[in-house]
């Protein structure tokens, strides 16, 4: 099993650009999550999903959108990138309250 | 507020000694999970140990153990026989909708 994979690993965006961060898991987990981690801070929940077709906001959803058309994929969309969205983004899936994290995407908005 | 507080931004320990990392949390739920994650410089989030709130017995995983005080909403991590590979950021988290603390940076002194 590959577990949770994220692409890209690194990305630099200009202010106002859009992009999608990809997340895929091959463990057939229903629950999936997107977090951001700012320097020197813990993870903050952006959005989560309890199954295909069902998503909900977390602690810091503004500026992001998600969709969940399949169990495997949970992409995160940034529509108008802002410098405040510079961060490391982690995707995770979970089963039995145990989370499995992807390797993260480092995003810089300049 | 659903918060998790780690009051020790940095800790250090001599190799082979014992160190305890502190965590307090807030919740209105009666049944929940608590976690400690390790994040080395590689950024990968690694589950160290987890505790189910309805269980009285403190969880243990090899050299890692917790002191769970439900009434005090306290969840500390004890690392025994510290090793150089234990050096990392450690995050406390509360589930099911996961909230993370700001982390404790652990240095292990040879």
Greater model confidence, B96 or B35: B35
Over the stretch A13-68, which tens digit does the pLDDT of each residue have?
A: 999 999 999 999 999 999 999 999 998 888 999 999 999 999 999 999 999 999 99
- Which one of A42, A89, A96, A99 would you mutate to disrupt binding with B, by most B Cβ within 10 Å of its Cβ? A42
Per-chain mean pLDDT for chain B: 93
**Distance between B2 CA and the closest CA of chain A, angstroms:** 10
> Is A4:A25 a contact under the CB 8 Å cutoff?
yes
- Nearest Cα of chain B lies from the Cα of A44 at a distance, in angstroms, of 7
| Residue B2 pLDDT greater than 70, yes or no | no
Give the single-character DSSP code of B38. E
Q: Chain B residues contacting A, CB < 8 Å?
A: 4, 6, 33, 35, 43-45, 47, 50, 52, 91, 93, 95-103
Query: Dihedral sign, CA of B37, A93, A56, A17?
Result: positive
Confidence of residue B1 (pLDDT cuts 50, 70, 90): low
Chain B: residue whose CA lies nearest to A36: B100
Nearest residue of A to residue B99, measured between CA atoms? A44
Which residues sit opposite B100 in a β-bridge?
B93
Provide the pLDDT for residue A86: 97
pLDDT digits (tens, 9 = 90+) for B48-61: 999 999 888 899 99
CB nearest to A90's CB, from B35, B45, B93: B45
Can you name the residues that pair with A34 across neighbouring β-strands? A47, A91
Contact flag B98-A101 (C-beta cutoff 8 Å) = no
Q: Is A16 exposed, middle or buried (0-12, 13-18, 19+ CB in 10 A)?
A: exposed
């Amino acid at each position: 099993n590959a577990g949770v994979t994220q692409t890209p690993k690194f990305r630099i965006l200009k202010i106002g650009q859009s992009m999608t961060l990809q997340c895929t898991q091959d463990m057939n987990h229903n629950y999936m999550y997107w977090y951001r981690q700012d320097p020197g801070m813990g993870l903050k929940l952006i959005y989560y999903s309890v199954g295909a077709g069902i998503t909900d906001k977390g602690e810091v959803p503004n500026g992001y959108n998600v969709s969940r058309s399949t169990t495997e994929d949970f992409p995160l969309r940034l529509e108008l990138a802002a410098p405040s969205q510079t961060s490391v983004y982690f995707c995770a899936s979970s089963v039995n309250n145990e989370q499995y994290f992807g390797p993260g995407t480092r995003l810089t908005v300049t | 507020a659903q918060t998790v507080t780690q009051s020790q931004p940095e800790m250090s320990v001599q190799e082979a000694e014992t160190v305890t990392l502190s965590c307090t949390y807030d919740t209105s739920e009666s049944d929940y999970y608590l976690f400690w994650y390790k994040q080395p410089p590689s950024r990968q989030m690694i589950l160290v140990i987890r505790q189910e709130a309805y269980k009285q017995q403190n969880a243990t995983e090899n050299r890692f153990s917790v002191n769970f005080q439900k009434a005090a909403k306290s969840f500390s991590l004890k690392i025994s026989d510290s090793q150089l590979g234990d050096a990392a950021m450690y995050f406390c988290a509360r589930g099911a909708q996961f909230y993370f603390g700001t982390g404790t940076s652990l240095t292990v002194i040879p």
